[in-house]
Amino acid sequence: MTIATTAIQPKVLKQGDSKGSGMVLHYTTPKGANVYGIGNPLTWENTLGPIWTYVVEADKLTLVDTAVGGTMDTFQSGLEAIGYRPEDIQRVILTHGHLDHDGNTFDILWRSGGELWAHEVYKSLLDINRVQTERDFHAQFLGLNSGEDSLSQRSMEHEEMRKHLCVARPFKEGDRAGDFVFHHTPGHTPEEICIQFQGVVFTGAHILPMITPQPSLKASHDVFRHLFHESYRQENNLYGLLVYLRNLRRMSRMGPDVPIMPSHRVYYRDQFNLLTLSRAEEIIDHHMKRLGLIVDLLRNEPMSVTDITLKHFRGAYLKGRGFYMAMTEIFGHLELLDDTGDIEFIETNQAVRWTGTENYKRVLDGLGAEADNRIW
Ligand SMILES: [Zn+2]
């Protein structure tokens, strides 16, 4: 069990399964507010574990994330264990627009009449089928084929639901409301946020125990930028691994001892994983190692993106949709190495060659330093 010294120990209000599904936890923030975590199941086969939604007793009863569509029963019985009903939710704040985070938003707000708050970039993307758009782009220009699976169908249905949402309060980096401070931390998705509240930080999928989210691809900025407010259009600060790592460093600099409330793996295999913002540095290290392994593969000869993926990942990771995920992950790392001048794409993005440098080490070490600002 990993327990950082200053992580908050929750009380268990309701037991769940060995991964925390159905579990309800009660945390008290350093400043004395009540926050409750509800472990909501995913509705497809997965290794993520449940999605944790948080009920926050702030100036208004606030819900951070709404879990997967069609799981209102578990959510409602979790709420009942705390003493609330869905009708009591006055405000929903979304960390980002993946279907395990905002799936029940329409159902909850329709019942409660509460307000929806999300980053302004989330609002800009409400009317399009972003998953399909991204997959089409990956297939057409990057040669990354996702294939069809039940999750694609689910994503389509989810995106239809999202078209009915109305963001009452679109916010941006640094905005404050009561005790909430919103930090824009894109990289996994362009609208992702972390939320500071009374000495804790809700980290969504930006910072997770045990695992790390898949970074988006930098190339996606070209596909979506016309949809965003002008301030997000010119320079890419929304997509890709480098953007993700920069935002991890930014969060870790807020204070390594600040307790985090993440969206997954709070409890897993009968154990708690209670962490602080110092976890962000472990994730940066993880990506540093992966970049090093990729460069090692390329030392002797150029390789195709497919071959790098097959050599870097093994067995179970490469089955079915796993191969697309693995190849996208490798592509994201290659984009960063391309930016730092350590590799070059050849054969229209299908293969790469090492340039003989390892600038990426210096760039990652310097993330967050003044000099890092916009070198790349
Ligand atoms: Zn996500």
- Tell me: the pLDDT tens digits for 162-213? 999 999 999 999 999 999 999 999 999 999 999 999 999 999 999 999 999 9
CATH number for the domain spanning 336: value is 1.10.10
Single out the residue in 229, 259, 280 at which a domain terminates: 280
Ligand 1 centroid – CA 205 distance (Å): 6
Question: Are 209 and 301 in a shared domain?
Answer: no
Do 295 and 269 share a domain, yes or no?
Answer: no
- Residue 356 CA to ligand 1 center (angstroms) comes to 35
Would you call 221 helix, strand, or coil by DSSP? Answer: helix
Distance CA 148, CA 165 (A): 27
Centroid of ligand 1 to alpha carbon of 43 (angstroms): 15
pLDDT band, very low/low/confident/very high, at 271 (cuts 50, 70, 90): very high
**How much distance in Å is there from the Cα of 263 to the middle of ligand 1?**
9
Q: Inform me whether the pLDDT recorded for 154 exceeds 60.
A: yes
Do 66 and 36 share a domain, yes or no?
Answer: yes
Residue 142: pLDDT over 80:
no
Do residues 204 and 301 touch, judged by C-beta distance below 8 A?
A: no
Identify the domain boundary among 280, 308, 324.
280
Residue 365: count other Cβ atoms within 10 Å of its Cβ: 13
Structure confidence by residue, pLDDT tens digits, 316-361 = 778 877 888 899 999 999 999 999 999 999 977 789 999 999 999 9
C-alpha 11 chain-centroid distance = 26
Distance CA 361, CA 365 (A): 6
> Do 254 and 301 sit in the same domain of this protein?
no
Q: Using one digit for the tens of pLDDT, what is the confidence trace for 302-311?
A: 999 999 999 9
- Per the listing, tokens 């391309």 go with 338
Q: Are residues 211 and 320 in the same domain?
A: no
> What's the total number of domains in the chain?
2
Domain assignment present for 373: no
Q: Does a structural domain hold residue 342?
A: yes
What is the domain extent for residue 192?
11-280
Number of Cβ within a 10 Å radius of residue 43: 16
Among the candidates 280, 304, 337, a domain finishes at: 280
Q: 314 and 208, same structural domain?
A: no
Residue 259 inside a domain? The answer is yes
Those residues whose beta carbon sits under 5 angstroms from the ion ligand 1 are: 98, 205
d(CA 339, CA 360): 9
Looking at the fold, whether 112 and 170 belong to one and the same domain comes out as yes
Q: How far is CA 1 from CA 58, 60, 70, 258, in A?
A: 30, 34, 32, 18
Q: What is the rounded distance in angstroms from the CA atom of residue 79 to the CA atom of residue 74?
A: 9
- 106 and 90 in one domain? yes
pLDDT band at 5 (very low <50, low <70, confident <90, very high): low
Write down the residue that tokens 């069609």 correspond to.
70
Query: Is the same domain home to 97 and 209?
Result: yes
- Ligand 1 centroid – CA 101 distance (Å): 7
The Cα 221–Cα 350 span in angstroms is 20
Q: What are phi and psi of 5, to 5 degrees?
A: -60, -35
pLDDT score, position 339: 97
Ligand 1 mean position, distance from CA 347 (Å): 31
